[in-house]
Amino acid sequence: MKKTILAILTIFIAGLSFGQKDSTSRDTLFEKASEGLVRFYYDDHYYLVDKDCDFKSIERLSQFIVAKNAFHGEFKDFDRNGTLILTGYYNQGVKEGVFKAYHPNKALKWEVTFAANRPIGDWKYYYPDGKPMLVVNFEDGSGKINAFWDRLGRERVVAGEGSYEFKMPFEYYNEYGYPFFERKGRIKNGLPYGYWTTNMVDEKNKKALFTEEVYNKLGVLTEGYNLFLDAQYTVPLTIVPSQPFLMSEKLLFKQCSFDDYSGFNAYLSEKLNSAFMTNPSFQHTEDEFAYRVAIDKNGEPETITLSEPLKTSTLNRYLERVLQDIPYYFPSLNQAGEPIADDLTVSGKLSISEAGVFNFHSMKIEREKQP
């Protein structure tokens, strides 16, 4: 994907027509701006999208070095209202100096200094009213929580010691149906310590216990248990705000569909990959598949049919069983924006490495009735 965008940029810089929707390039992901700058169009997860896409929410103005496939100089990101939301500096693709992000009300959201692409010193976060929220220190290279204030202004973590309770949104679709998760536990020497919990949180702030964890004195997870799946795990959810702007450097793009934007197609890939894992009996295969699923107006599947099977019948039998475990699809909408029953065609690709590692990717959903 990066090579594709680099090739387009090469043509653009060479002076050929760019940004026009023709038979070879339907999407305008970036185009020339004044003073030698390039304007890039992103969704709010920092994936490139067409400038006319409904999910476009960020525009970046920056110099760009095509030969290095890298941003250069000062850049500025603006939201859909034209409000500055992020500024910083790249030296031939390397983050250097002060980066600052802003809330929609133009108040400072966070600030940090980078050196050689790494944060140094304190990464300071602020609430929309300007009051301090969080300080993560990077003096030793890894982030440690040095201070934390709750919404009432009480300092709950002081000099890396105290109690921590922080709610964050899920960036993408999750099958649990909750838009937020809340991390809660003790901070010792700037790191999580002892018993921690994660709660799922709905729009009305109702909570459901999701995970229980135990961390050792080095901040390493030693026990993790998912109550929803009744399963253990070794990689915990983050305890500090994620930074989607880092994705902007990868120059990845998404099609202008809600299934792509929401992360649902990525969820389907992950669902299939986790089910198949690794099987050395199947090696170095490239294949494609498709299935049809009839959903009701609530997005619940009613029938699933493998319309374009994989070449290997053994894999098809298991694939059909896995597809039956996908509990939900986003419902289609009519012209009035109301959910309707529909027939979906879901297609994708399968690559199997020489070691037998499965990679389901390039998922795409076509809807029969949605205009």
Task: Read off the pLDDT of each residue in 16-31 and give the average, rounded to a whole number.
Answer: 56
User: pLDDT tens, 208-228?
Assistant: 999 999 999 999 999 999 999
What pLDDT score does 142 carry?
Answer: 87
pLDDT bracket for residue 26 (50, 70, 90): low
How much is the pTM? Answer: 0.85
Is the pLDDT at 341 greater than 50? The verdict is yes
State what percent of residues in the chain have pLDDT above 70: 93
| Reported confidence tier of residue 283, pLDDT bands at 50, 70, 90 | confident
**Confidence band, pLDDT 50/70/90 cuts, at residue 257:** very high
Coil/strand/helix, residue 360? strand
What pLDDT is stored for residue 1 in this prediction? 44
For the chain, the structural domain boundaries read 280-367
Per-residue pLDDT for 9 more than 90?
A: no
Are 346 and 362 in contact, with CB atoms under 8 Å apart?
Answer: no
Length of the chain: 371
Q: Which of 95, 93, 150, 141 is nearest to 121 (CA)?
A: 141
* 152 SS3 class: coil
pLDDT of 109 over the 50 cut: yes
Contacts of 26-35 with CB under 8 Å at 24 or more apart are 26/50, 27/253, 27/256, 28/52, 29/5, 29/253, 33/61
Token pair in block for residue 21: 């929707």
Q: What is the pLDDT of residue 243?
A: 93
Contact (Cβ atoms closer than 8 angstroms) between residue 298 and residue 331: yes
CA neighbor of 211 nearest in space, from 190, 182, 245, 187: 182
Q: Report, as an integer, the average pLDDT of 258-268.
A: 94
Strands (E) located in 103-252: 108-115, 118-126, 132-137, 144-149, 155-158, 161-169, 180-188, 191-201, 207-215, 221-226, 231-232
- Mean pLDDT along residues 48-58: 96
65-84 per-position pLDDT tens digit: 999 999 999 999 999 999 99
Q: Hey, what are 336's tokens?
A: 């009035």
- Average model confidence (pLDDT) across the chain: 91
**pLDDT band (50, 70, 90) for residue 175:** confident
- Report the alpha-carbon distance of residue 269 to residue 250 in Å, rounded: 20
pLDDT at 27: 82
Q: Over range 304-318, report the average pLDDT.
A: 93
